[in-house]
Amino acid sequence: MNVLVTGVSGFVGRAFCAHAIAHHSLRGVTRSLADLPKGVAGALVTEINESTKWDSALLGCDVVVHLAARVHVIQETSADPLSAFRRVNVEGTLNLAQQAAYAGVRRFVFVSSIKVNGESTATGSAFFASDAPAPLNAYGVSKMEAEQGLREIARNTGMEVAIIRPPLVYGPRVKGNFQVMMRWLSRGVPLPLGAINNKRSLVVLDNLIDLITICIDHPAAAAETFLVSDGEDLSTTQLLRRMGQALGKPARLIPVPPALLKAGSELVRKPELAERLCGSLQVDISKTRQLLRWNPRISVDEGLRTAAAGFQK
């Protein structure tokens, strides 16, 4: 099967190509051929927006796996974040999908975000794929609007669309807050996070890639939206302890009450920091399990070990 993959130089894209190259003929969208993973044919695209021409990239393709996006960032630099997100994540995505449908592409696999559902859940509750969208930031809004537009294109053209909403993705070469966490743990930094009883879902890269691969050709994936996780939710305290074990550096955690952490984050005008550390975000993957007969191949602890090994290299 001929598969066009956008975002091939990214965290998920490189790992997906390394896995899928054994099963499919891949063409990767890239700004530079030097960024192409080994064995992947290249399609040069300098920018993804409403006017990008995709004719040559789509030629002969059966499936599009769309990973490229303007991603959520902690420190936003754009004066108009929503417009910036929409140009790439909505207009760019729908332009690609419309041209893909005209080119005869059979299926469009879109990696969205759990932020379409929202930012948090009550502990013990979970997001479902069928929940009404409730995004709270520009990134989540843009992903929601892209999903809505893709479903409309599918209805009008007959091209199949499958949507995946991952929570936090981790694994070898992960960056951002997860990398910072591993750096703190490896250095033995005492952390005031020893008394947090929240629950958060996360997904290791290998499990996400496994689900993307299944959605390429599974009959039941058409016209569906799937949530994904490792199947075990952890508190921040549990995650730190088990990540420390994976690193061989036991976590030095101080049991500070979450209320004090939240008060401190308010004082420094970073309330979102306390929400990420103390709040819950759980996803229910029962639909994914039942419709696709899919189960996470890798456990949380095995996933943490792969992330630790990548970090230590």
Whole-Å CA distances, 224 to 3, 20, 54, 220: 19, 22, 25, 8
Asked whether 116 and 150 are in contact (CB, 8 A), the reply is: no
34 burial level (CB within 10 Å; 0-12, 13-18, 19+): exposed
**How big is the chain, counted in residues?**
313
Amino acid present at 227? L
Q: How buried is 246 (Cβ within 10 angstroms: 0-12 exposed, 13-18 middle, 19+ buried)?
A: buried
Distance separating alpha carbons of residues 118 and 285, to the nearest angstrom: 16
Active site residue 139: yes
Q: Which of 16, 54, 85, 139 is catalytic?
A: 139
Around Cβ 189, how many Cβ atoms within 10 Å?
11
Return phi, psi of residue 5, to 5°.
Answer: -120, 125
The whole-angstrom separation of Cα 272 and Cα 228 is 23
Going by C-alpha positions, the residue among 114, 300, 278 that lies closest to residue 198 is 278
Closest CA to 85 of 163, 146, 3: 146
Task: Please give the positions annotated as active site.
Answer: 139
